[in-house]
Structures are given as structure tokens and as C-alpha cells.
């Protein structure tokens, strides 16, 4: 639009461009201010985690000192990093990372394998399995956790890593997401591989997996965020510090008479850092992942 | 490896002979392998999703405890359901979660749409801003609770300072999470802040699908910015609105984490929710049968909302 005007009436544009630039700058600054205000709680968290006095943290929150730390210290992080103490946050963080790693790795592998068979396999009854999975997708996690807890306890898996990894690895939603990607692969790709006499697993492993990195990344990101932020289930299934994840560890700060805000802030930052690192590295993928999970509904 | 093992293909009937030779063992072996690839996921889903789901219907008809007692489990028919439906605490929880949904829908979706509109313009560093605004959505609810409980702090927290400043000190400090009138609105605000990012990117995707020509036509007709928003943008987003409303409603009905951490359903039961009620009945009080009945009711609510979505969306297409 602007090119048309500049071609027809350059003098006119010269006059117009100035208020326009100012308008653009004003708009930019406005968006920047809104963004900073909206995000400020996260900034406050990082600032507060560098203050060692828990009373100072509370006192500062009500003023502009909340945005500033005069003598930054990593002492809070050093305190919570030890494996001892009332709440061994180092341990919780390691537990969370173990659960995350196993769930995402296993989940991507198992779900994509099943999706491949459902999309391209020759097994009879695939349509039935697929329909069943879509039906199960509607069942919310919240409405099965209590029977599941009783089941897990009976199997002697209570308070274990397995109880936090196995139930959430395979998921109808992620099988369906990958399935939808796989069925869009042209038939020729599959045929070319079968003519070479490759076995189903070989076709999956060396032809379809390399093709489907975008959807695998989507599943890894969604499953990763979901696993990292699990709360209700680990709250019920973990009884000791052995396999307790960091989300439940941080929550146990509350309910005491005095909250150790300095430790709570540092632990919260520790919980955010892994997500932030991945987010900064794969920002575009994160956003598109959440969109593709939405489109499925 | 497979290609080296093939017997000379240039004999009598090359193509078919070769295929017949290797297809036969492969079909069998192939199907077995396919079964091996499909089963692990299906077994896990059966054990950890299908079985608990089906057994919840059975458990709901008994007086089973979470940790079994020496007395045998008794079949109690629909007792658990009648007990729930006659418990005022259950109706309070259901009303609270409905109230939460009604409040969080306009706040969260409205804010998400506003930010999406802001980001849908020509703007330098647009992707950077989108990433910034999306940050709360990937922040764990537990972490959000840690930060926001200091923001809500009584009496000197930032929210109280802002309210005091804007009202020239007339409105006294409010105990946001401790006052029965303010606890739920505070939970609404915190929840909307944590989750709006998802609705924002869905709206952003919806906005980008609106053809530019519609706006040009409206502009030719002399529509101003406001009119273009109400008569072009909003009608074009119809599908997106429906989708966003349904997803947000389902999420809202599952409200638990922030309530469990910040208020434990209090003060005076004003933030007790369905899932929190179920958690208390089943985990704290160990009454598995009763909790399973609540779980079934929760499932039915989610099911109805999802079915409404199916029908509404189908109608439009």
C-alpha cells in the first residue's frame, strides 16, 4: 500500500511518513510496556531468588525494591542443591529429570511405533484399535487417578519412578497426532521400501522416523511439558523423597506456618530453568506444537 | 542386506517370482513384527487408562477403601451417588467450579484475544513478543503459585499497594486468598495469567487465516477500525471462538493444583472444586468408592462439553 502512494505522490508521503513512524514507535513502546507488565511476575521471581533473607523478600514485594537486588547471592541455590536438609531439592530436581527423560524417550518411541502400524500396517483390526484410542482420548486424567492409585499400590509400584513413568508414556492423543502425520506420507515412499523387502520395523525406523522429525518434536515438547508439570498424580503416588518430583517438593513449602520464601523462590527458578533453556532453543517449535495439539481438539 | 540375498531377478518371470519368493515369509514375519510394534503402547494404555477407567464404575458401586481393610468390600449399589448428591459440600464444589468457569472464560479468553490482536499487526520483533507473551503458559502452576502468593500477600503485597494507591488509601488492604469473597476471583486471575498463552496462539492462528481482502472491502465501504473489528474480525473468528471456549471450559472444570496449594478449598469452602472434593474424599479420607463416583460425574461433565463441541462444530461446516 505504501509503495503505491510513494509512486504516485512522493511529496505527500514525505509529510505522511513522519507521524507514521512516530505512530509505529508509540505502538512498539506500548506493546513492550504491556509485555513487561504481563511478564513482570516471572522477573520478580528471578530477582527474589537472589535475596537470601526471607523477610526481606516479603518486605520488598510491596515496593519497587522488588525489581532490584542490592547484593545478589547464589546462597539460596547452594542451600537447596544439597541432598540433605528438610526438603532435598537437588534430589527432587534429579528425580524430575529422570522421570522426564524416560517418559519422553519412551513415549516418542512407543507412540510413533504404534502410529506407524495403525497408519501403514497390514494387521487386521487396526481400525477398531484406532477408534478405541480416539474414544479413550476423551477420558480426563483426573477421573482415573484414584482407581489407578489403588491399582499401582496393589502392584507394589507405589512411591516409585515406574509409577510416574509407565502410566503416561503411551497416550491416545500422541498416537493420533503422529498417525495423522504418517497417513499424509505418499504411498510411493512406503511401496518403494516394501519392494526392497524391508521389514515393517525397518521401514518405520529408517524411512518414516527420519521423515517425521517435526511431529516427533511436537510430541516430545508437549509430553515433556506435561510430564515436568505433573502435580496431582505424583502428589498422591509419592510418599517419600525417593521418587518425589520437584513440583510436589516446592508445593510442600506451603501449609507450614512460615514459608521459606528464599528457598521456595530458588527452587522455583530451578524448576523453570530447564524449560526456559529448551524454550529459547526451540521457541518456534513450542508455539507450533501447542497449535497442532489444539487443532486436534 | 535383503537385496544381496535375492536370487537372480532376471530369470523366467522376474518381478513376480521375486516378490513371491520374499513376500511369503515376510507377510507372516511382518505381521508378527507389526504386532510387536503396536502392542507395547496398547498394553500400557489398557493397563493404565482403560482398566482404571472401567474399574472406576465398579468401585463406585462398592464401599472400597484406598488402603484395603480386613473387612471384605461390600456392594452398596448407588449409595455413593446418593450420598454425594445429598451432600451440600458436593454442590458447593460444583457451584464453585461453575463460578470459576464463568469468571475465567471472559477474563482469560478476552485477554488472549486482546494480546493476539496486538501481535497481529505490523510490529517489529513480533516473534520475540509472541515468545515473551507465551512464557507463562509453559511455566508450571506450582511455580506460578509461589510467585503469586507473594503478589497477593496481606497486607503489604503489590496488589494491595496498587489497590491502595489507586483508591487513595480508601480501599483497605484485602486478604486476597483468605477472604471468602476474594479467594475465588484471585484464583481466577492467577489461572487466567498462567494459561492465556495457549488461547492467544490459537487466536493468532485464527486471525492469520482471515483473508486480507475482507478488510480491504470493509475499508472501501468506509468502515472504521471499530466496525471492522465487530463486522469482519469477530464473525470470521467464529470457529476459533467455539473451539477456545470449549477447551477453556474443559480445563476450568479440572481446576485443582492452585486451589490445593494456595487455599486447600478454603476459606469456608469457597474455593473447593470438583477435583479437590474428589481428592479429599479418595486420598485424604481414603473413601475410594465415593471418590470414584465423583470421578464418573467429572467424566460425564467433560463428555457432555466435548459432545456439545462436536455438534456445534459439525453444524457450522
Tell me whether 0.90 is exceeded by the ipTM. Answer: no
End-to-end CA distance of chain A: 38
Report the alpha-carbon distance of residue B309 to residue B317 in Å, rounded: 13
B210 lies in the same domain as B302: yes
B153 lies in the same domain as B294: yes
pLDDT greater than 50 at residue B317: no
Place of cell 505490523: B122
Closest in B38, B201, B298 to A287, CB measured: B201
Instruction: Flag whether residue A155 sits within 8 Å of chain B, measured between CB atoms.
Output: no
B103 lies in the same domain as B21: no
Report the alpha-carbon distance of residue A250 to residue B261 in Å, rounded: 10
| Count of the separate structural domains present in chain B | 2
Look at B44 and A272 and tell me if their CB atoms are within 8 Å.
no
Report the alpha-carbon distance of residue B227 to residue B138 in Å, rounded: 35
Phi-psi region of B218 (alpha: psi -120 to 50; beta: other; left: phi over 0): alpha
What pLDDT sits at residue A19? 61
Average pLDDT of the residues in B34-47: 94
What pLDDT sits at residue A172? 93
Closest in A138, A175, A231 to B303, CB measured: A138
Instruction: Flag whether residue B248 sits within 8 Å of chain A, measured between CB atoms.
Output: no
Task: Give A 169-208 residues with CB within 8 A of chain B.
Answer: 169-172, 175, 196-201, 204
What pLDDT sits at residue A255? 66
B38 lies in the same domain as B89: no
Q: Could you list the residue range(s) of the whole structural domain that residue B89 is in?
A: 81-316
B13 lies in the same domain as B152: no
Q: Which residues contact B21 (CB under 8 A, 6 or more apart)?
A: B6, B7
Which of A62, A107, A165, A168 is the best substitution to test chain B (most B C-beta atoms within 10 A)? Answer: A62
What pLDDT sits at residue A262? 83
Task: Give B 64-93 residues with CB within 8 A of chain A.
Answer: 64, 66-67
Q: Is residue B58 part of a domain?
A: no
- Which of A254-258, B42-46, B63-67 ranks highest by mean pLDDT? B42-46
Which segments of chain A belong to CATH 1.10.3720.10? 79-296
Q: Is residue B28 part of a domain?
A: yes
Average pLDDT of the residues in B214-223: 87
pLDDT greater than 70 at residue B231: yes
Per-residue pLDDT of chain A (297 residues; tens, 9 = 90+): 343 433 444 444 444 455 667 888 888 899 999 999 999 999 999 988 888 877 778 777 777 777 778 778 888 888 777 755 567 888 899 999 999 999 999 999 999 999 999 999 888 889 999 999 988 988 999 999 999 999 999 899 989 999 999 999 999 999 999 999 999 999 888 888 888 788 889 999 999 999 999 899 989 999 999 999 999 999 999 998 889 999 999 888 776 666 678 888 888 999 999 999 988 888 778 887 887 776 544
B15 lies in the same domain as B99: no
Strand partners for A56: none
Task: Give B 225-244 residues with CB within 8 A of chain A.
Answer: 243
B5 lies in the same domain as B149: no
What are B149-203's pLDDT values in tens digits? 888 888 888 888 888 888 887 877 888 888 899 999 999 999 999 999 999 999 9
Question: Does domain A79-296 bear CATH number 1.10.3720.10?
Answer: yes
pLDDT greater than 90 at residue B113: yes
Which of B45, B121, B195, B202 is the best substitution to test chain A (most A C-beta atoms within 10 A)? Answer: B45
pLDDT greater than 70 at residue B28: no
- Which pairs with CB-CB distance under 8 Å and at least 24 residues apart come from A44-48? A44/B147, A44/B150, A44/B151, A45/A265, A45/A268, A45/A269, A45/A272, A45/B143, A45/B146, A45/B147, A46/A269, A48/A261, A48/A262, A48/A265, A48/B150
Q: Which of A99, A169, A275 has the alpha carbon at shortest distance from B197?
A: A275
- pLDDT bucket at B316, cuts 50 / 70 / 90: low
B207 lies in the same domain as B303: yes
What pLDDT sits at residue B142? 94
Please say whether the beta carbons of A114 and B36 come within 8 A.
Answer: no
What pLDDT sits at residue B9? 38
Q: Is residue B279 part of a domain?
A: yes
Instruction: Flag whether residue A150 sits within 8 Å of chain B, measured between CB atoms.
Output: yes
Q: Which residue has the higher pLDDT, A257 or B239?
A: B239
Amino acid at each position: 500500500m505504501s509503495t503505491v502512494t510513494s509512486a504516485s505522490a512522493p511529496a505527500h508521503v514525505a509529510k505522511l511518513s513522519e507521524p507514521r513512524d512516530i505512530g509505529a514507535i508509540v505502538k512498539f513502546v506500548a506493546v513492550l510496556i504491556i509485555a513487561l507488565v504481563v511478564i513482570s511476575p516471572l522477573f520478580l521471581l528471578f530477582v527474589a531468588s537472589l535475596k537470601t533473607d526471607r523477610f526481606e523478600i516479603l518486605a520488598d514485594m510491596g515496593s519497587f525494591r522488588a525489581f532490584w537486588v542490592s547484593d545478589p547471592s547464589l546462597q539460596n541455590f547452594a542451600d537447596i542443591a544439597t541432598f540433605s536438609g528438610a526438603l532435598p531439592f537437588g534430589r527432587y530436581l534429579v528425580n524430575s529429570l529422570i522421570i522426564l527423560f524416560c517418559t519422553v524417550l519412551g513415549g516418542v518411541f512407543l507412540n510413533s511405533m504404534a502410529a506407524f502400524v495403525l497408519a501403514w500396517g497390514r494387521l487386521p483390526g487396526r481400525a477398531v484399535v484406532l477408534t478405541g484410542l480416539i474414544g479413550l482420548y476423551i477420558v480426563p486424567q483426573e477421573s482415573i487417578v484414584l482407581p489407578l492409585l489403588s491399582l499401582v499400590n496393589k502392584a507394589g509400584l507405589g512411591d516409585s519412578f515406574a509409577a510416574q513413568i509407565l502410566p503416561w508414556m503411551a497416550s491416545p492423543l500422541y498416537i493420533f497426532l503422529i498417525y495423522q502425520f504418517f497417513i499424509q506420507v505418499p504411498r510411493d515412499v512406503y511401496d518403494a521400501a516394501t519392494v526392497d523387502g524391508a521389514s515393517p520395523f525397518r521401514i518405520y525406523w529408517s524411512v518414516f522416523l527420519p521423515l517425521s522429525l517435526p511431529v516427533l518434536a511436537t510430541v516430545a515438547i508437549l509430553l515433556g511439558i506435561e510430564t515436568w508439570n505433573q502435580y496431582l498424580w505424583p502428589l498422591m503416588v509419592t510418599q517419600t523423597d525417593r521418587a518425589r518430583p520437584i513440583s510436589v517438593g516446592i508445593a510442600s513449602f506451603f501449609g507450614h506456618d512460615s514459608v521459606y520464601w528464599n528457598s521456595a523462590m530458588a527452587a522455583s527458578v530451578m524448576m523453570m530453568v530447564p524449560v526456559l533453556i529448551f524454550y529459547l532453543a526451540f521457541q518456534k517449535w513450542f508455539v507450533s506444537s501447542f497449535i497442532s495439539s489444539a487443532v486436534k481438539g | 542386506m535383503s537385496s544381496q540375498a535375492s536370487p537372480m531377478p532376471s530369470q523366467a518371470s522376474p518381478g513376480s517370482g521375486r516378490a513371491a519368493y520374499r513376500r511369503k515369509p515376510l507377510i507372516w514375519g511382518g505381521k508378527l513384527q507389526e504386532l510387536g510394534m503396536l502392542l507395547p503402547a496398547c498394553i500400557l494404555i489398557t493397563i493404565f487408562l482403560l482398566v482404571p477407567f472401567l474399574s472406576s464404575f465398579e468401585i463406585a458401586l462398592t464401599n472400597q477403601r484406598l488402603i484395603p481393610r480386613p473387612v471384605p468390600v461390600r456392594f452398596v449399589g448407588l449409595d455413593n451417588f446418593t450420598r454425594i448428591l445429598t451432600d451440600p459440600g458436593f454442590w458447593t464444589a460444583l457451584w464453585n467450579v461453575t463460578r470459576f468457569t464463568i469468571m475465567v472464560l471472559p477474563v482469560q479468553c478476552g485477554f488472549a484475544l486482546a494480546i493476539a490482536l496486538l501481535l497481529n499487526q505490523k510490529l517489529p520483533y513480533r516473534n520475540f513478543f509472541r515468545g515473551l507473551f507465551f512464557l507463562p503458559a509453559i511455566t508450571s502452576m506450582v511455580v506460578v503459585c509461589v510467585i503469586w502468593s507473594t503478589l497477593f500477600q496481606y497486607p503489604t503485597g503489590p496488589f494491595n499497594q496498587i489497590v491502595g494507591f489507586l483508591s487513595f488509601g480508601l480501599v483497605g488492604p484485602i486478604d486476597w486468598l483468605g477472604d471468602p469473597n476474594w479467594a475465588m476471583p484471585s484464583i481466577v486471575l492467577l489461572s487466567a495469567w498462567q494459561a492465556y498463552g495457549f488461547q492467544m496462539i490459537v487466536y493468532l492462528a485464527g486471525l492469520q487465516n482471515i483473508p486480507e481482502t475482507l478488510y480491504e472491502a470493509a475499508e472501501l465501504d468506509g468502515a472504521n477500525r471499530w466496525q471492522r473489528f465487530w463486522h469482519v474480525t469477530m464473525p470470521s473468528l467464529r470457529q476459533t471462538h467455539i473451539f477456545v471456549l470449549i477447551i477453556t471450559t474443559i480445563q476450568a472444570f479440572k481446576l485443582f493444583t492452585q486451589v490445593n496449594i494456595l487455599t486447600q478449598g478454603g476459606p469456608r469452602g469457597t474455593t473447593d472444586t470438583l477435583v479437590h472434593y474428589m481428592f479429599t474424599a479418595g486420598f485424604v479420607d481414603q473413601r475410594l468408592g465415593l471418590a470414584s463416583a465423583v470421578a464418573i460425574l467429572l467424566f460425564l461433565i467433560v463428555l457432555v462439553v466435548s459432545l456439545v463441541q462436536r455438534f456445534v462444530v459439525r453444524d457450522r461446516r
